[in-house]
Amino acid sequence: MSTFASTIPKIRDALQATFRSGLTRPLPWRQHQLYQLARMAQNERELICDALQKDLGKPKTEVLVNEVGSIVERAVKCAKQLPEWAKTEYPDVPDRRKSWRPTIYKAPKGTALIISPWNYPMILSFQPLMGAIAAGCTAILKPSELLPTFSQLLEEIVPKYLDPNAYRVVNGAVPETTKLLELQWDHIFYTGNGKVARIVASAAAKHLTPLTLELGGKSPVIIDSAYDIDLAAKRILWGKCNNAGQICVAPDYVLVQRDKQDELVKAFQKHYNAFFPKGALDSPLFGSIVSDSHYKRLTSLLSRTKGEVVLQGRTDAARRRLEPTIVKNVVDGDSLLEEEIFGPILPIVPVDSLQQAINFVNARSHPLVLYAFSENESLKQQLVSETQSGGIVFNDTFQQLAVSELPFTGVGESGYGYQFMKHTYDTFTQLRSSIDMPKEAEADLAMRYPPHSEEAVRALTAAVYKPIPASRL
Amino acid sequence: MATPISTIPKSVAKIRDALRATFRSGITRPIAWRQHQLYQLARMAQNERELICDALKKDLGKPKTEVLMAEVGCIIERSVKSAEQLPEWAKTEYPDVADWQKPWKPTIYKAPRGTALIISPWNYPMVLTFQPLIGAIAAGCTAVLKPSELVPSFSQLLEEIVPKYLDPNMYRVVNGAVPETSKLLELQWDHIFYTGNGRVARIIASAAAKHLTPLTLELGGKSPVIIDSAYDIDLAAKRILWGKCNNAGQICVAPDYVLVQRDKQDELVKAFRKHYNAFFPKGALDSPSFGSIVSDVHHKRLTSLLSRTKGEVVLQGRADVTRRRLEPTIVKDVADGDSLLEEELFGPILPIVPVDSLNEAIDFVNARSHPLVLYAFSDKESVKQQLVSETQSGGIAFNDTFQHLAVNELPFAGVGESGYGNQVMKYTYDTFTQLRSSIDMPKEAEPYLGIRYPPHSEEAVKALTATVYMTIPPSRL
């Protein structure tokens, strides 16, 4: 059920008023909200799993592990670490300025808008919200309309656990989202795709609203021939199968030495059979495609490929099921290289050298994550130096998300702004610098006032004449 | 001199492409190379200081001491310091993680964002052009500098001296006005750093939105001064007037207007007069220690605002239109709705707004856009705390004005209408740097990762979903 568009400005105003009232300032209050968020995820897990089963066909284990468990654990961790994050900082300064008491306060930005996508809706709604709560902001959550059951559930359970004066769920589609975007926010946190991100950024520009854009792209996998192909195939396939490939950090396509392609295909086949002895079509451990339109998009891309399908995934349009499908000998210009696949199709692009693989990646938009399988330290260094991506992960896929101390971000077309734990807290926090000039400093400050004596000018401009060190090239 | 319009589209895009190509070539990666560019920047400021002072004298009537101190000296000091601290900033980080994740070698690389566009204003053109550039150089980015067309001698000078010191394959100056800036904004950049006003900031943000370009917006606003009656009014007046006189009030952190207890207003005015006479015994009109207004347009704007005020002018600043001179002018009994409260003054006019309580002052400030800095003069810790808690501003400075900019270790930023994104020293470095997270999964981890693969045994499911059932601590409210 959509929120009436006309009530949206009122909701925003109410959240702003709550923010100004100071309700969110005390740390125990914020910690309580964080614990409540954890309790919500824990207590309502069955309803959440049911909703995501209904909307997405997401396997229960996946929901519990990646969505519910993450939120419970991280909300509790945030609450524990919050006092440390929120500490006022006293930077180390030269002696002559210590008496000025240079200080950095952590100030909440205000009222935030968090727009989340359909694929990992728990974590991508509540991970940003955790940071907003921790920072002392109020917030509106706008979950995806592609998940009607889940979005409706949020509207029911969120106010039972989180203070509705500070946090509200707003549902709807384009009209409601447009209304939200007409308003001024103190931060907008958007997770989704580049097309909509441009719309969000344009709307934000009118109000000078700061943004976080967590987008996607085609995350490449480069395989060094010397690496254990069998292990690489296992770790890549596992990453691809999560949510049937519908995740921003899914390994999108693989670049492998031409003469290793068939060995790789064989390894994929082997591990697929091990993961899904009866195939993925009816496996409760493999997700469905989110919608008919996305299902059609994927099957259409497949139908247009000029590559050779080597692992033929079975399909079921009625249930929107699509088994992992692997295509080899895919070349530049193929349908499978046009856009982020966001599905269980894995194109393999044969290359003849590492340099060719690097050039292939660099000819495209910066991905959210670059995966590479290699034990060669110089090769890893070369990839770090010669490519750009949000993250760069060696010898695995997807697992990097489990490290909550690592900032998660995109670059270029894959977005900007950081999240996870303290990084999300920082996103919703403004560093507010301060000094407190004692009266006693007046003697030291005297020379700044006009009229300037020659001595004063000399002292004030001393920095101009300081010797500059020699360059060491 | 603007780059000729007919060659703009190709030329500007070509410049950007060339800078991108050099970025990709990896020249900017080595720390020693970046340090060299930073030292070169310092050398440029040091060696060319006379030309710089002359250009700013010509364009702005800026006093030489002000240029040397606030602009040239500042750049030299911060370039050198940045070079010195760069190895520390650029260090790859290894965050502390749970034991079971340690073998994965969690790492945070510091990656340069790429090619940046730095657009700077006319008022503190050295520091506002080169302070962001220091961060871009340190981060390993390449950059285009677009200085303000309102300072033509200075912008032209930059076009001449910058390539003599900084590698022109990495750093370029592009001059011009609206057409050239529009062309620049049509292109994709890896970061745009804009210092200026809210109106143009919206144009820049809209252009950036088309390319998903991240931004830093260093804007302004009306920076209020709240004076607690119990504070030494004489000292407050001195420290406020000094801040206001810098560059004739044409600075984003100039104290814009004062809120003071009604019964202290006249004492404050007296103190302002006294210190004005001390600063400028013969008045500021012809003083080489006091700046001029940047343009005829701005001079007209200021005198027009003054002519429309309903407040009482208590320190009548003399004006000289030809030389664009305007002495400090103080107006008391200014009320909400006055011309002097409409927009950021950005000039040597100081309105005093009498209030009847601290809360009234706080409400007055909070009814307006978040300022770049809130100034407050008070000795009471509870008053300071209240201001920290109950207001929002980029910075909050107690018992002085302007001086907080001297502290290299404090991030400088706005909030709301005053902008976003931090600068100064490491904060500027961070602005142009992307944190690039990494793990490196050893083969030996495979037994521990075993439970993640389907099909999941009951034991695997239990282990994987353990966090769902973790104990949540009780709330302590």
> Which of B235, B395, B436 minimises the CB distance to A432?
B395
The DSSP annotation for B141-182 comes to: -EEEEE--TTSHHHHHHHHHHHHHHS-TTTEEE---SHHHHH
A281-315 pLDDT, tens digit each: 999 999 999 999 999 999 999 999 999 999 999 99
pLDDT tens sequence across B36-52: 999 999 999 999 999 99
Quick check: ipTM above 0.90?
Answer: yes
Dist. CA A384–CA A395, nearest whole Å: 14
Mean pLDDT of all residues in chain B? 96
| Mean pLDDT, rounded, of chain A | 97
User: B287 CB near a chain A CB, below 8 Å?
Assistant: yes
Asked whether the predicted pLDDT for residue A202 surpasses 60, the reply is: yes
pLDDT at A472: 86
Q: B115-119 and B191-195: which strand pairing?
A: parallel
CA–CA min distance B143, chain A (Å):
16
Instruction: State yes or no: pLDDT of B7 exceeds 60.
Output: no
Residue B216 has pLDDT above 90, yes or no: yes
Cβ contact, residue pair B106, A61, below 8 Å? no
Give me the pLDDT at residue B4, please: 52
Contact A461 B68 (CB under 8 A): yes
Q: Of residues B66 and A5, which shows the higher confidence score?
A: B66
Q: Which residues in chain A have their CB less than 8 angstroms from residue B410's CB? A: 91, 102, 104, 433-435
Residue of B nearest to A29 (CA): B477
Q: Chain A closest CA to B21's CA: distance in Å?
A: 12
Taking contacts as CB-CB distances below 8 angstroms, the residues of chain B near A445 are 400, 403
Structure token digits, residue A332: 């530049």
- Of the candidates B212, B472, B473, the beta carbon closest to that of A201 is on B212
A435 close contact with B: CB closer than 8 A:
yes
Is the pLDDT assigned to residue B9 strictly greater than 70? no
* Residue B5 in this model has a pLDDT that exceeds 50: no
List the beta bridge partners of residue B351: B331
Residue A72 contacts B where some CB pair is shorter than 8 Å: yes
Q: State residue A4's pLDDT score.
A: 82
Is the pLDDT at A459 greater than 70? The verdict is yes
DSSP state of B72: I
Global confidence as pTM:
0.97
Nearest Cα neighbor of A369 from A257, A248, A205, A261 is: A248
**Cα B78 off chain centre by:** 15
When scoring A223, A434, A440, A466 by the number of chain B Cβ atoms within 10 A, the one with the most, hence best to mutate, is A434
Number of alpha helices (DSSP H) and beta strands (DSSP E) in chain B: 17, 17
Which residues, in sequence order, are bridge partners of residue A419?
A408
Task: Give the 3-state secondary structure of chain A.
Answer: CCCCHHHHHHHHHHHHHHHHHCCCCCHHHHHHHHHHHHHHHHHCHHHHHHHHHHHHCCCHHHHHHHHHHHHHHHHHHHHHHHHHHCCCECCCCCHHHHCCCCEEEEEECCEEEEECCCCCHHHHHHHHHHHHHHHCCEEEEECCCCCHHHHHHHHHHHHHHCCCCCEEECCCCHHHHHHHHHCCCCEEEEECCHHHHHHHHHHHHHHCCCEEEECCCCEEEEECCCCCHHHHHHHHHHHHHHHHHCCCCCEEEEEEEHHHHHHHHHHHHHHHHHHCCCCCCCCCCCCCCCCHHHHHHHHHHHHHCCCEEEECCCEECCCCEECCEEEECCCCCCHHHCCCCCCCEEEEEEECCHHHHHHHHHCCCCCCEEEEECCCHHHHHHHHHHCCCCEEEECCCCHHHHCCCCCECCCHHHEECCECCHHHHHHCEEEEEEEECCHHHHHHHHHHCCCCCHHHHHHHCHHHHCCCCCCCC
Question: What does the pLDDT look like over B171-192, one tens digit per residue?
Answer: 999 999 999 999 999 999 999 9
For residue A406, what is the nearest residue in chain B, using CA coordinates?
Answer: B437
Q: Is B417 a catalytic residue?
A: no
Mind telling me how many Å the CA of B310 is from chain A's nearest CA? Answer: 31
pLDDT in tens, B323-338: 999 999 999 999 999 9
Q: In chain B, pLDDT over 90 holds for what percent of residues?
A: 95
Measured between CA atoms, the residue of chain A closest to residue B410 is A433
Residue A206 at interface with chain B, using a CB cutoff of 8 Å: yes
Catalytic status, residue A248: yes
Share of chain A above pLDDT 70, in %: 99
Residue A72 has pLDDT above 80, yes or no: yes
- What part of B 381-410 touches A (C-beta under 8 Å)? 384, 388-390, 392-400, 403-404, 406-410
B226 at A interface, C-beta within 8 A: no
| CB within 8 Å: A35 and B473 | yes
The radius of gyration of chain B from alpha carbons, rounded to an integer in Å, stands at 26
pLDDT confidence bin for B477, thresholds 50/70/90:
confident
Long-range contacts of A256-261 (CB under 8 A, 24+ apart): A256/A223, A256/A225, A256/A348, A256/A349, A256/A350, A256/A351, A257/A223, A257/A225, A257/A350, A257/A351, A257/A352, A257/A353, A258/A350, A258/A351, A258/A352, A259/A225, A260/A223, A260/A225, A260/A229, A261/A328, A261/A329, A261/A348, A261/A350
Q: Quick check: B147 and B176 in contact, CB under 8 A?
A: no
| Per-residue confidence band for B290, with pLDDT thresholds at 50, 70 and 90 | very high
Predicted local confidence at residue A6, as pLDDT: 86
User: Which of A67, A214, A323, A413 is the catalytic position?
Assistant: A214
Please indicate whether, in this complex, the C-beta atoms of B36 and A194 are within 8 angstroms of each other: no
C-alpha closest to that of B162 among B191, B120, B207: B120
Q: Check residue A170 and give its pLDDT.
A: 97
- Rounded to a whole number of angstroms, the distance from the CA of A58 to the nearest CA of chain B is 14
Q: Calculate mean pLDDT across residues A183-194.
A: 98
Q: B436, A392: Cβ pair inside 8 Å?
A: yes
Cβ pairs bridging A and B (under 8 Å): 347
Question: A-contacting residues of B 306-365, CB under 8 Å?
Answer: none
pLDDT in tens, B297-307: 999 999 999 99
Residues of B in contact with A235 (CB under 8 A): 441
Interchain contact B233–A (C-beta under 8 A): no
A23-37, A162-176, B57-71, B332-346: least confident range: B57-71
pLDDT interval class at A1 (50, 70, 90): low
